Amino acid sequence: MQDNRTLYEKKVQDRSQLRYFIGLIVRWKQNFKYARARRIARKRGAIIGEGVIMPISLAKKVNKNVTIGNHVSIHSDNFSSFRFPIKIGNNVIIGNNVKFVMGSHNIDSPEWENCRHNSGLIIEDYVWLCPDSVILPSCTLIAYGTVVGANAVVAKNTTEMSVVGGNPAKEIKKRSCIHSNLIVEALLGGDYYIYKQTRKNITSKKKCLKASIKIEL
Protein backbone atom coordinates (compact mmCIF):
# COMPACT_ATOMS: atom_id res chain seq x y z
CA MET A 1 0.00 0.00 0.00
CA GLN A 2 1.40 3.40 -1.02
CA ASP A 3 2.30 5.79 1.79
CA ASN A 4 0.87 9.20 0.83
CA ARG A 5 1.87 10.97 4.02
CA THR A 6 3.97 14.13 3.90
CA LEU A 7 7.52 14.10 5.24
CA TYR A 8 6.33 15.99 8.34
CA GLU A 9 3.57 13.44 9.01
CA LYS A 10 6.02 10.56 8.71
CA LYS A 11 8.51 12.17 11.10
CA VAL A 12 5.85 12.84 13.75
CA GLN A 13 3.71 9.73 13.38
CA ASP A 14 6.56 7.21 13.16
CA ARG A 15 8.31 8.45 16.30
CA SER A 16 8.48 6.30 19.41
CA GLN A 17 6.32 7.41 22.32
CA LEU A 18 9.40 8.66 24.19
CA ARG A 19 10.68 10.77 21.28
CA TYR A 20 7.19 12.12 20.67
CA PHE A 21 6.77 13.28 24.28
CA ILE A 22 10.25 14.86 24.36
CA GLY A 23 9.35 16.75 21.18
CA LEU A 24 6.03 17.77 22.70
CA ILE A 25 7.69 19.26 25.79
CA VAL A 26 10.19 21.23 23.69
CA ARG A 27 7.39 22.62 21.50
CA TRP A 28 5.22 23.41 24.52
CA LYS A 29 7.98 25.68 25.86
CA GLN A 30 8.54 27.31 22.46
CA ASN A 31 4.80 27.88 22.06
CA PHE A 32 4.72 30.27 25.03
CA LYS A 33 7.65 32.28 23.66
CA TYR A 34 6.19 32.70 20.17
CA ALA A 35 2.68 33.40 21.46
CA ARG A 36 4.17 36.18 23.61
CA ALA A 37 5.99 37.63 20.59
CA ARG A 38 2.73 37.70 18.60
CA ARG A 39 0.88 39.41 21.46
CA ILE A 40 3.58 42.08 21.77
CA ALA A 41 3.56 42.76 18.02
CA ARG A 42 -0.23 43.04 17.92
CA LYS A 43 -0.27 45.44 20.88
CA ARG A 44 2.14 47.65 18.95
CA GLY A 45 -0.36 47.85 16.09
CA ALA A 46 1.01 45.24 13.68
CA ILE A 47 -1.35 42.83 11.93
CA ILE A 48 -0.07 39.33 12.71
CA GLY A 49 -1.57 36.12 11.28
CA GLU A 50 -1.81 32.62 12.72
CA GLY A 51 1.28 30.54 13.30
CA VAL A 52 3.76 33.40 12.97
CA ILE A 53 7.20 32.72 14.42
CA MET A 54 9.34 35.76 15.17
CA PRO A 55 11.98 36.91 17.67
CA ILE A 56 10.68 38.91 20.62
CA SER A 57 13.29 41.53 19.74
CA LEU A 58 11.49 42.06 16.41
CA ALA A 59 8.05 42.07 18.03
CA LYS A 60 9.15 44.98 20.23
CA LYS A 61 10.13 47.06 17.17
CA VAL A 62 7.20 46.62 14.75
CA ASN A 63 4.30 49.06 14.40
CA LYS A 64 1.07 49.60 12.47
CA ASN A 65 2.98 49.64 9.16
CA VAL A 66 3.68 45.91 9.44
CA THR A 67 1.35 43.18 8.16
CA ILE A 68 2.34 39.51 8.39
CA GLY A 69 0.24 36.66 6.98
CA ASN A 70 -0.24 33.11 8.26
CA HIS A 71 2.47 30.49 8.91
CA VAL A 72 5.48 32.76 8.60
CA SER A 73 8.90 32.01 10.09
CA ILE A 74 11.14 35.02 10.68
CA HIS A 75 14.66 34.35 12.01
CA SER A 76 15.92 37.95 11.81
CA ASP A 77 15.13 41.29 13.43
CA ASN A 78 17.38 43.28 11.11
CA PHE A 79 14.95 45.88 9.72
CA SER A 80 16.46 49.36 9.40
CA SER A 81 13.09 51.11 9.75
CA PHE A 82 9.34 50.60 10.03
CA ARG A 83 8.39 54.02 8.72
CA PHE A 84 7.24 52.48 5.44
CA PRO A 85 4.60 49.74 4.92
CA ILE A 86 5.89 46.17 5.01
CA LYS A 87 3.52 43.40 3.97
CA ILE A 88 4.59 39.77 4.28
CA GLY A 89 2.38 37.06 2.78
CA ASN A 90 1.65 33.48 3.86
CA ASN A 91 4.16 30.63 4.28
CA VAL A 92 7.16 32.92 4.03
CA ILE A 93 10.57 31.95 5.45
CA ILE A 94 13.03 34.69 6.38
CA GLY A 95 16.43 33.25 7.32
CA ASN A 96 19.03 34.25 9.87
CA ASN A 97 20.48 37.74 9.62
CA VAL A 98 18.49 38.80 6.54
CA LYS A 99 18.81 42.58 6.29
CA PHE A 100 16.03 44.91 5.17
CA VAL A 101 17.33 48.36 4.24
CA MET A 102 14.11 50.35 4.25
CA GLY A 103 15.45 53.84 3.60
CA SER A 104 18.32 55.82 2.17
CA HIS A 105 19.65 59.38 1.83
CA ASN A 106 19.52 61.83 -1.03
CA ILE A 107 23.18 61.96 -2.05
CA ASP A 108 22.45 64.76 -4.56
CA SER A 109 21.18 67.11 -1.87
CA PRO A 110 23.29 69.26 0.45
CA GLU A 111 20.79 68.39 3.20
CA TRP A 112 21.43 64.62 2.76
CA GLU A 113 17.80 64.08 3.83
CA ASN A 114 16.20 60.69 4.34
CA CYS A 115 14.39 59.31 1.33
CA ARG A 116 12.95 56.13 -0.04
CA HIS A 117 12.50 55.22 -3.66
CA ASN A 118 9.10 53.61 -3.12
CA SER A 119 6.11 53.38 -0.81
CA GLY A 120 7.03 50.15 0.96
CA LEU A 121 7.87 46.47 0.52
CA ILE A 122 5.64 43.53 -0.37
CA ILE A 123 6.81 39.94 0.12
CA GLU A 124 4.31 37.56 -1.49
CA ASP A 125 3.38 34.00 -0.49
CA TYR A 126 5.88 31.11 -0.39
CA VAL A 127 9.00 33.26 -0.51
CA TRP A 128 12.25 32.03 1.00
CA LEU A 129 14.91 34.59 1.90
CA CYS A 130 18.10 32.67 2.67
CA PRO A 131 20.52 33.72 5.45
CA ASP A 132 22.49 36.95 5.15
CA SER A 133 20.63 38.19 2.07
CA VAL A 134 20.05 41.95 1.78
CA ILE A 135 16.92 43.68 0.49
CA LEU A 136 17.64 47.24 -0.68
CA PRO A 137 15.16 50.17 -0.78
CA SER A 138 14.94 50.00 -4.58
CA CYS A 139 13.21 46.59 -4.28
CA THR A 140 9.46 46.97 -3.66
CA LEU A 141 8.22 43.47 -4.54
CA ILE A 142 9.56 40.00 -3.83
CA ALA A 143 7.16 37.98 -5.95
CA TYR A 144 5.30 34.74 -5.24
CA GLY A 145 7.55 31.73 -4.73
CA THR A 146 10.83 33.64 -5.01
CA VAL A 147 13.98 32.16 -3.47
CA VAL A 148 16.71 34.67 -2.64
CA GLY A 149 20.08 32.96 -2.24
CA ALA A 150 22.38 33.38 0.76
CA ASN A 151 24.34 36.67 0.74
CA ALA A 152 22.41 37.93 -2.30
CA VAL A 153 21.82 41.68 -2.57
CA VAL A 154 18.39 42.36 -4.06
CA ALA A 155 18.22 45.78 -5.72
CA LYS A 156 15.15 45.30 -7.94
CA ASN A 157 11.82 43.49 -7.97
CA THR A 158 11.76 39.74 -8.57
CA THR A 159 9.42 37.70 -10.78
CA GLU A 160 7.22 34.80 -9.70
CA MET A 161 8.96 31.49 -8.88
CA SER A 162 12.40 32.92 -9.57
CA VAL A 163 15.63 31.86 -7.85
CA VAL A 164 17.96 34.84 -7.56
CA GLY A 165 21.50 35.22 -6.27
CA GLY A 166 24.63 37.34 -6.40
CA ASN A 167 25.45 41.01 -5.93
CA PRO A 168 23.43 42.55 -7.41
CA ALA A 169 20.99 39.63 -7.42
CA LYS A 170 20.10 38.19 -10.81
CA GLU A 171 17.70 35.42 -11.78
CA ILE A 172 19.44 32.04 -11.94
CA LYS A 173 16.48 29.84 -12.80
CA LYS A 174 12.78 29.23 -12.15
CA ARG A 175 11.60 27.22 -9.19
CA SER A 176 9.63 24.09 -10.16
CA CYS A 177 7.27 24.11 -7.15
CA ILE A 178 6.53 25.85 -3.85
CA HIS A 179 7.02 24.42 -0.34
CA SER A 180 3.30 23.65 0.02
CA ASN A 181 3.79 20.58 2.27
CA LEU A 182 6.18 22.30 4.66
CA ILE A 183 4.97 23.16 8.15
CA VAL A 184 6.76 26.50 8.35
CA GLU A 185 6.34 26.81 12.13
CA ALA A 186 8.27 23.56 12.59
CA LEU A 187 11.51 25.21 11.45
CA LEU A 188 11.88 26.81 14.89
CA GLY A 189 9.78 24.43 16.95
CA GLY A 190 6.65 26.57 16.89
CA ASP A 191 4.36 23.77 15.69
CA TYR A 192 3.03 22.61 19.09
CA TYR A 193 -0.65 22.30 18.09
CA ILE A 194 0.04 20.91 14.62
CA TYR A 195 2.48 18.40 16.14
CA LYS A 196 -0.19 17.18 18.56
CA GLN A 197 -2.90 16.99 15.89
CA THR A 198 -0.66 15.14 13.45
CA ARG A 199 0.11 12.49 16.06
CA LYS A 200 -3.56 12.27 16.99
CA ASN A 201 -4.52 11.66 13.37
CA ILE A 202 -2.43 8.49 13.09
CA THR A 203 -3.84 7.22 16.41
CA SER A 204 -7.39 7.70 15.11
CA LYS A 205 -6.52 5.90 11.85
CA LYS A 206 -5.10 2.94 13.76
CA LYS A 207 -8.27 2.67 15.87
CA CYS A 208 -10.44 2.75 12.74
CA LEU A 209 -8.29 0.09 11.11
CA LYS A 210 -8.53 -2.20 14.16
CA ALA A 211 -12.30 -1.70 14.25
CA SER A 212 -12.67 -2.59 10.57
CA ILE A 213 -10.56 -5.75 11.03
CA LYS A 214 -12.78 -6.88 13.94
CA ILE A 215 -15.90 -6.33 11.83
CA GLU A 216 -14.45 -8.41 8.99
CA LEU A 217 -13.58 -11.21 11.40
In a domain, 211, yes or no: no
**CA gap 76, 100 in Å, rounded:** 10
Q: Is residue 157 part of a domain?
A: yes
CATH of the domain at 37: 2.160.10.10
Cα–Cα distance between 121 and 94 in angstroms, integer?
Answer: 14
Based on C-alpha coordinates, what's the Rg of the chain?
21
State mean pLDDT over 160-187.
Answer: 95
Is 183 a member of any domain? Answer: yes
C-beta of residue 195 within 8 angstroms of C-beta of residue 174: no
- pTM listed for this prediction: 0.86
Helix (H) or strand (E) holding 195: helix 192-216
Residue 22 has pLDDT above 50, yes or no: yes
What is the SS3 assignment for 58? helix
Q: How many structural domains are present in the chain?
A: 1
Angle at 42 between CA 68 and CA 160, to 5 degrees: 5
Verify cis geometry, omega within 30 degrees of 0, for the bond prior to 137: no
Does an H or E element contain 148, and which?
A: strand 147-148
Kindly report the CA angle at 42 between 180 and 90, in degrees rounded to 5? Answer: 15
Instruction: Say what the pLDDT of residue 42 is.
Output: 98
Answer yes or no: is 18 within a domain: no
The answer to whether position 16 is within a domain reads no
User: Pairing relation of β-strands 86-88 and 93-94?
Assistant: unpaired
Question: For residue 215, is it within any domain?
Answer: no
Condensed to tens digits (0 to 9), the pLDDT of residues 90-140 reads 999 999 999 999 877 778 888 887 776 557 899 999 999 999 999 998 899
Supply the range of the domain harboring residue 40: 32-190
- In Å, how far are 23, 190, 205 from 16, measured between CA atoms? 11, 21, 17
Residue 69 maps to a domain: yes
Report yes or no on 19 lying in a domain.
no
